[in-house]
């Protein structure tokens, strides 16, 4: 017999970035909010203290901050004709777990999508015609505009204390910033981080080729900063342990370093950790969420009634919970019908190593989003006529720390072990840098999420099954970006370059990005989307689904800035509109 | 932080916690108390005792691992070999612990070989995989009538490892030789370049060879020193040898 808890105004499932943002906003609006997190409570002084946070083995390779796959993983395959097998070990993406979620071990790369990214289908059709969007490329417009999201982008950048240089202030292009970005209402809250040697060489070479380099916007504080909630971050010390690690220095923005010091004091907010939500409960007619059922930290089943249910877990968990709860029609790639699980997308990356003979670059002096970037080949910032693909990505050098188990690039012809390897690595480690490309993945009819028929989690529930591969669009686009990166690499004047094109099928082993998207996408109509522009379910209007779950396809930027902007956009609508008429759709179907 | 630590914290931090599960006392509920913190709950890594003997590897296994690691990172004046860096002891301790047991891995069946892009599909966690693969390699070499791996000359060892990495050695049964080579090479690199607190990278020697600064807390002074060597020696989580008290 399940325990039945007293009702709350809103229950949040998952407590990372979006959960913390929504909890802060809804408690400000006077609501009584409960957040349920399946992982542990985590905070700087005890879980990633600077006394031992800089530990490559423990945190990256032994996955201390990541999801425990023994508890729950997903199954993976490249195409429907294959049998999906469990992702037994983390690799391509690093799922988060615990308070702060994946936002604890992110790099702090904060981007805004391009205005045209949010209209990917209509924009590309209009500019390039029907042939540019083949039938199997199931891209859609987001149903929300850049102007709708600008306030949310701005709010998140000021929450995090992003260090950067504006490129477009209210329509006026600014020297030193990204001239391709959408207009922003004001400058970044902090100036760019100091730029090390290798990214500086990249910027010089790129400018020499007529590109438009600028410092990557970074949620790594370039100076002490107190955010609008009154929470202070410390200046980044360039220790080189951001990406895949937690910051011991209160310099990288996370829920812990920006929101929780305020939120955790509120009596109207309760957090329960080590509790796992099993399903969302519905009314008999299926049109109202009545709350959730979860297993508490003692193993007891608990029914939690709520006026509003917000899914704020990672995208893969949000989608799985919808499927396990029987909400929405599951997507069927054979017929193209159904919504939940549709348009799963990812990111496509490649790199170009640049080896110098004479330049000591000290690559270990780093920070997560420290680098120089060009967006000349992102989105539709360039003419795609005749290229055979749409979309793009950024190209740049991010000097994130070169921890040596992970980062020891070898020149062409050098083996991966043995004496020749050893001599090469001793010669090259300090004098090598890597240009990264970070490209979009368009939605494709066959790329989707559903429940696995065979494999189960510790509670006996089916694992999520991911069917995903790159298409011609991604490979052509990524090769194009890699060629552009190689041009800049050559112009940097090193001894040699080595271009690492992304070849073949998506591979779960090498780390790429934790930028999984889609599965419960937003849009303009319930015919082809799960939520409206406020991330409100069309079918169940008191259910909101946050995160990159909503992206109809994945543009060439890191997702977190847009994930946060969408959460603020939803929170504003809930406060100004929804709470005046609860349980009602905010957009007419 | 593990659930058991949560329980401990609950006892320690009663002043800031609201309890929801009095039956066990293992509550993890937070309401209005601010950022939860309790003393002495952080988990500092335990240093490997460099003088201790192997805990997981048997004699034959250790002989294989030592010989194979030495071919992967041989001795020469450039820097430490895998043996000089202590890679085998590192690997032994890793395999004896949670990593070897695969406590964080999904190890439920059914097991299948999978495609090249589906990653780790061995039916054993890393310790069991090493054990099964080393035995299979020994059997394979014995069947061919040749010497055991560690008694072969360097060129022979290199040729065998190369064949293993290229998938040209059929070890029979469920042991995927190519997958095992990848695991072994990864573990050797981990031991060579990980913080010395885990038993490898002895005296920070691998970091010194490449010039990595280590667990440095504040590198602000060196961001703009373009082209200049970093002036400080590497440091680990446990400090560095020069900081130890002699005697």
Strand partners, A6: none
- In whole angstroms, how far apart are CA A229 and each of A232, A260, A568, B23, B101? 9, 10, 15, 37, 44
Looking at the predicted structure, is the pLDDT value of residue B21 above 80? Answer: no
Looking at the predicted structure, is the pLDDT value of residue B158 above 50? Answer: yes
- Per-residue model confidence as pLDDT tens digits over A8-61: 999 999 999 999 999 999 999 999 999 999 999 999 988 998 889 999 999 999
Task: Kindly state whether B195 is in contact with chain A, defined as any CB-CB distance less than 8 angstroms.
Answer: yes
Going by C-beta distance under 8 Å and a sequence separation of 6 or more, which residues neighbour residue A399? A196, A198, A199, A363, A365, A366, A367, A370, A371, A433
A273 alpha-carbon distance from chain centroid = 23
pLDDT for A324: 98
- Per-residue model confidence as pLDDT tens digits over A340-397: 999 999 999 999 999 999 999 999 999 999 999 999 999 999 999 999 999 999 999 9
Cα–Cα distance measured from residue A516 to residue A345, given in angstroms and rounded to the nearest whole number: 6
Task: Take residue B241 and report the two structure tokens written for it.
Answer: 């040898």
Going by C-beta distance under 8 Å and a sequence separation of 6 or more, which residues neighbour residue B37? A43, A45, A46, B13
C-beta contacts of B77-84 below 8 A and 24+ residues apart: B78/A422, B78/A423, B78/A426, B78/B209, B79/A422, B79/A426, B79/B205, B79/B206, B79/B208, B79/B209, B79/B210, B80/B192, B80/B202, B80/B205, B80/B206, B80/B209, B82/B188, B82/B191, B82/B192, B84/B202, B84/B205
B chain contacts of residue A504, beta-carbon cutoff 8 Å:
117
Contact between A80 and A446 under an 8 Å Cβ cutoff? The reply is yes
3-class secondary structure, A205: helix
pLDDT for A1: 65
The percent of residues above 90 in pLDDT, for chain B, comes to 78
Which of A192, A191, A184 minimizes the C-alpha distance to A215? A192
Which of B2, B28, B48 minimizes the C-alpha distance to B200? B48
pTM of the model: 0.96
Task: Kindly state whether B108 is in contact with chain A, defined as any CB-CB distance less than 8 angstroms.
Answer: yes
Residues of chain B numbered 126-145 and touching chain A (CB < 8 Å): none
**Taking CB atoms and an 8 Å limit, are A61 and B1 in contact across chains?**
no
Quickly list H helices, A463-559.
472-491
Within 10 angstroms of residue A247's Cβ, the number of other Cβ atoms is 30
Burial environment of residue A271 by CB neighbours within 10 A (0 to 12, 13 to 18, 19 or more): buried
Cα–Cα distance measured from residue A524 to residue A200, given in angstroms and rounded to the nearest whole number: 43
Residues of chain A numbered 491-520 and touching chain B (CB < 8 Å): 504-509
Is residue A589 very low, low, confident or very high in pLDDT (cuts 50, 70, 90)?
confident
Contact between A108 and A252 under an 8 Å Cβ cutoff? The reply is yes
Contact between B69 and B82 under an 8 Å Cβ cutoff? The reply is yes
Going by C-beta distance under 8 Å and a sequence separation of 6 or more, which residues neighbour residue A527? none
B chain contacts of residue A43, beta-carbon cutoff 8 Å:
35-37
**Taking CB atoms and an 8 Å limit, are B217 and A239 in contact across chains?**
yes
- Per-residue model confidence as pLDDT tens digits over A87-145: 999 999 999 999 999 999 999 999 999 999 999 999 999 999 999 999 999 999 999 99
Half-sphere exposure of A483 (CA within 13 A, CB side): 8
Strand partners, A8: A306
| Shortest alpha-carbon distance between residue B227 and chain A (Å) | 4
Encode burial over B53-83: b for 16+ CB neighbours within 10 A, e otherwise: ebebbeeebbbbbbbbbbbbbbeeebbbbbb
**Lowest mean pLDDT, pick from A491-495, B12-16, B131-135, B214-218:** B12-16
The answer to whether residue A515 is catalytic is yes
Radius of gyration (Cα) for chain B, nearest Å?
23
Q: Choose among B24, B119, B214: nearest Cβ to A89.
A: B119
Placement of tokens 């979009």 in the chain? A440
Contact between A420 and A395 under an 8 Å Cβ cutoff? The reply is no
Cα–Cα distance measured from residue B113 to residue B173, given in angstroms and rounded to the nearest whole number: 11
Going by C-beta distance under 8 Å and a sequence separation of 6 or more, which residues neighbour residue A482? A350, A351, A352, A437, A499, A500, A501, A502
Contact between B192 and B87 under an 8 Å Cβ cutoff? The reply is yes
The percent of residues above 70 in pLDDT, for chain B, comes to 88
Cα–Cα distance measured from residue B122 to residue B126, given in angstroms and rounded to the nearest whole number: 9
**Lowest mean pLDDT, pick from A132-141, B13-22, B213-222:** B13-22
Cα–Cα distance measured from residue B30 to residue B7, given in angstroms and rounded to the nearest whole number: 13
Angle at alpha carbon of residue A82, lines to A76 and A88, rounded to 5°: 30
Cα–Cα distance measured from residue B159 to residue B170, given in angstroms and rounded to the nearest whole number: 15
Task: Give me the mean pLDDT over the B103-119 stretch.
Answer: 96
3-class secondary structure, A260: helix
**Taking CB atoms and an 8 Å limit, are A237 and B229 in contact across chains?**
no
- Give chain B's largest Cα–Cα span: 72
Looking at the predicted structure, is the pLDDT value of residue A578 above 90? Answer: yes
Task: Give me the mean pLDDT over the B8-13 stretch.
Answer: 37
Cα nearest neighbour of A52 on chain B: B237
Going by C-beta distance under 8 Å and a sequence separation of 6 or more, which residues neighbour residue A413? none
Looking at the predicted structure, is the pLDDT value of residue A408 above 80? Answer: yes
- Per-residue model confidence as pLDDT tens digits over A517-570: 999 999 999 999 999 999 999 999 999 999 999 999 999 999 999 999 999 999
Task: Take residue B93 and report the two structure tokens written for it.
Answer: 């301790």
What values do phi and psi take at B184, rounded to 5? -65, -45
pLDDT for B173: 85
**Taking CB atoms and an 8 Å limit, are A86 and B108 in contact across chains?**
yes
Average pLDDT across chain A, whole number: 97
Cα–Cα distance measured from residue A421 to residue A219, given in angstroms and rounded to the nearest whole number: 36
Quickly list H helices, A433-525.
472-491
3-class secondary structure, B143: helix
pLDDT for B28: 84
Task: Kindly state whether B244 is in contact with chain A, defined as any CB-CB distance less than 8 angstroms.
Answer: no
Is residue B22 very low, low, confident or very high in pLDDT (cuts 50, 70, 90)?
very low
Strand partners, A66: A96
Cα–Cα distance measured from residue A293 to residue A303, given in angstroms and rounded to the nearest whole number: 4
Q: Choose among A68, A85, A98: nearest Cβ to B114.
A: A85
Task: Kindly state whether B246 is in contact with chain A, defined as any CB-CB distance less than 8 angstroms.
Answer: no
Cα nearest neighbour of B123 on chain A: A88
Task: Kindly state whether A431 is in contact with chain B, defined as any CB-CB distance less than 8 angstroms.
Answer: no
Task: Give me the mean pLDDT over the A291-315 stretch.
Answer: 97
Cα nearest neighbour of B74 on chain A: A419
pLDDT for B245: 67
């Amino acid at each position: 017999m399940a325990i039945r808890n007293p009702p709350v105004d809103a229950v949040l499932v998952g407590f990372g970035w979006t959960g913390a943002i929504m909890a802060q906003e809804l408690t400000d609006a006077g609501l009584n909010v409960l957040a349920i997190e399946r992982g542990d409570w985590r905070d700087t002084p005890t879980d990633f203290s600077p006394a031992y946070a800089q530990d490559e083995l423990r945190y990256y390779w032994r996955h201390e901050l990541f999801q425990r796959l023994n508890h729950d993983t997903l199954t993976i395959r490249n195409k429907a004709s294959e049998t999906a097998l469990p992702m037994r070990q983390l690799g391509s993406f690093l799922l988060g777990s615990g308070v702060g979620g994946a936002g604890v071990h992110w790099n702090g790369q904060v981007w805004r999508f391009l205005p045209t990214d949010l209209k990917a289908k209509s924009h590309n059709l209009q500019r390039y015609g029907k042939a540019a969007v083949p039938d199997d490329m199931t891209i859609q417009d987001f149903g929300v505009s850049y102007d709708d999201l600008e306030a949310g982008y701005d709010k998140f950048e000021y929450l995090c204390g992003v260090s950067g240089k504006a490129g477009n202030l209210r329509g006026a292009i600014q020297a030193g910033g990204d001239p391709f970005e959408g207009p922003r209402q004001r400058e970044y809250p902090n100036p760019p981080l100091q730029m090390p040697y290798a990214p500086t060489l990249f910027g010089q070479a790129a400018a020499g080729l007529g590109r438009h380099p600028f410092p990557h916007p970074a949620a790594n504080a370039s100076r002490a900063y107190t955010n609008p909630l009154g929470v202070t971050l410390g200046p980044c010390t360039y220790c080189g342990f951001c990406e895949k690690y937690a910051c011991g220095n209160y310099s990288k923005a996370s829920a812990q370093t920006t929101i929780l010091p305020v939120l955790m004091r509120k009596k109207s907010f309760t957090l329960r950790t080590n509790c796992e939500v099993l399903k969302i409960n519905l009314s008999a007619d299926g049109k109202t969420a009545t709350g959730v059922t979860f297993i508490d930290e003692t193993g007891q089943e608990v029914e939690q009634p709520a006026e509003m249910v917000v899914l704020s877990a990672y995208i893969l968990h949000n989608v799985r919970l919808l499927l396990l709860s029987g909400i929405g029609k599951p997507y069927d790639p054979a017929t193209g019908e159904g919504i939940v699980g549709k348009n799963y997308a990812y990111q496509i990356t490649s790199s170009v190593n640049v080896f110098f003979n004479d330049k000591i670059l000290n690559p270990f002096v780093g920070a997560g989003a420290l680098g120089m970037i060009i967006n000349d080949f992102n989105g539709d910032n360039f003419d795609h006529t005749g290229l055979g693909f749409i979309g793009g990505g950024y190209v740049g050098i991010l000097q994130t720390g070169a921890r040596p188990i992970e980062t020891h690039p070898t020149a062409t012809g050098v083996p991966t072990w043995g004496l020749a390897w050893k001599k090469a690595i001793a010669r090259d480690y300090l004098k090598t840098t890597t240009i990264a490309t970070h490209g979009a993945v368009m939605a494709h009819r066959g790329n989707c999420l559903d429940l696995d028929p065979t494999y189960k989690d510790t509670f006996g529930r089916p694992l999520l099954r991911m069917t995903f591969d790159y298409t011609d669009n991604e490979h052509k686009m990524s090769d194009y970006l890699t060629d552009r990166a190689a041009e800049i690499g050559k112009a940097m004047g090193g001894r040699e370059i080595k271009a690492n094109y992304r070849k073949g099928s998506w591979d779960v082993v090498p780390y790429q990005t934790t930028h999984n998207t889609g599965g419960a996408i937003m849009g303009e109509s319930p015919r082809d989307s799960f939520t409206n522009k406020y991330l409100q379910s069309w079918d169940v209007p008191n259910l909101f689904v946050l995160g990159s779950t909503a992206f109809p396809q994945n543009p060439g930027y890191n997702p977190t800035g847009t994930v946060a902007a969408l959460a603020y956009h939803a929170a504003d609508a809930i406060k100004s509109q929804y709470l005046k008429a609860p349980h009602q759709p905010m957009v007419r179907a | 932080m593990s659930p058991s630590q949560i329980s401990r914290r609950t006892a320690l931090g009663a002043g800031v916690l609201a309890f929801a599960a009095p039956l066990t006392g293992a509550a993890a509920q937070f309401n209005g108390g601010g950022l939860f913190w309790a003393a002495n709950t952080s988990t500092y890594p335990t240093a490997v005792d460099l003088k201790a003997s192997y805990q997981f590897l048997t004699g034959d296994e250790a002989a294989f691992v030592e010989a194979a690691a030495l071919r992967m990172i041989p001795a020469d004046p450039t820097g430490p070999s895998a043996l000089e860096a202590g890679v085998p002891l590192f690997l032994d301790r890793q395999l004896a612990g949670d990593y070897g047991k695969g406590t964080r891995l999904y190890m439920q069946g059914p097991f299948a070989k999978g495609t090249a892009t589906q990653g780790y599909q061995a039916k054993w966690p890393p310790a069991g995989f090493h054990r099964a693969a080393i035995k299979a390699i020994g059997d394979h070499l014995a069947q061919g009538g040749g010497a055991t791996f560690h008694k072969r000359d360097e060129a022979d060892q290199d040729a065998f490892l190369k064949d293993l990495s290229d998938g040209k050695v059929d070890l029979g049964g469920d042991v995927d030789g190519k997958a095992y080579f990848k695991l072994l090479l990864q573990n050797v690199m981990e031991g060579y370049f990980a913080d010395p607190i885990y038993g490898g990278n002895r005296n920070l020697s691998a970091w010194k060879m490449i010039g990595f600064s280590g667990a440095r807390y504040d590198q602000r002074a060196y961001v703009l020193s373009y082209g200049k060597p970093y002036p400080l020696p590497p440091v680990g989580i446990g400090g560095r040898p020069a900081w130890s008290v002699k005697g």
